[in-house]
Amino acid sequence: MTTEASSGCPLHSAVEPKLDFGGTTPYEDYVHASTLHELQRPVTDEPLEMSFLVVTQVMELYFGLLVFDLRHARDRLRADDVREGVAALRRCTGHLKALRAAWLPIARMTPREFNAFRDALGEGSGFQSAAYRHVEFLLGEKSASMLVPHRSVPAQHAELSQALGEPGVYDAALALLARRGHSVPDEVLERDLTQTYNPHPAVEEVWAKIYATGAGEAVRLGEALTDVAEEFTGWRHDHLMATRRAMGTKPGTGGSAGVAWLEKRARRDVFPELWTARSHV
């Protein structure tokens, strides 16, 4: 009797992995792992500084990934491709969940542990992250003053300046709803895109009517946006709690009010009418 193994089935044959590629491995060529591992340069001997540095760099990579997929979601919604826009928003929800999990290695630092390397940060602060600022702009939280820290890095400043005046994800979603016959007011559709999005009662009514039907792609869009908003707010809260635990109410390394600043930001909802409309369904 002939077995699958003896017949040469590739699923059962004992093939050894290729070990010699005559140079770098294809994995290295694609991932650039050695470059990534050369980017951690602690300046103290405190072991937790390495955790802090790696986690911060991982978050930066996820911020960049969020920018990529939030822009894709926005552009697909502008092209009336709700299915792909929702799929991109679902990916963003996963990215934000991973971002929240990234806090775990450093979220339980005591004040003494954080103070052991805090001075090494100088005036460095996550507040200065260009990629995070781009995420906020795409979520509708905009302010021209937030461009100031990036003036000395022309490429970052140019990218953020462009993002400041472009529609965010929510702008694209509301414009799509208007094209589908929903009563989104012109003053919302034609708002100054360089300003933070502020809630409007007519938009709240649009979402309340959509949710009252309980079905359709508009509801799926609303839920995908809500998932992103919930996880983003959760990330902000995780940041707040990690900061409170490590440094109490002391000023932040970048000169901000520290916990007071984070508390203020954590209270803000992105895509606000998606939350308030639920009270009217």
Binding residues for substrate: 118, 253
What CA–CA distance (Å, rounded) separates 106 from 113?
10
Closest by Cα among 170, 194, 196, 195 to 184 = 170
d(CA 249, CA 46): 23
CA distance 172 to 165: 13
Residues 204 and 227: their CA atoms lie apart, in Å, by 17
CB 139 within 8 A of CB 40: no
Residue type, 190: E
Residues making up the binding site = 118, 239, 253
- Residue 199 backbone dihedrals phi, psi, to 5 degrees: -65, 150
Annotated binding residues for heme: 239
- Give Cβ neighbours of residue 223 (< 8 Å, ≥ 6 apart): none
- Cα–Cα distance, 87 to 243 (Å, whole number): 33
Task: Kindly report the number of other CB atoms within 10 A of residue 82's CB atom.
Answer: 19
Is the separation of the CB atoms in 205 and 224 below 8 Å? no
H-assigned helices in the chain: 26-31, 33-37, 47-78, 82-101, 111-118, 130-138, 154-164, 169-179, 186-189, 201-213, 217-247, 259-266, 273-276
What is d(CA 124, CA 253) in angstroms, rounded to the nearest whole number? 6
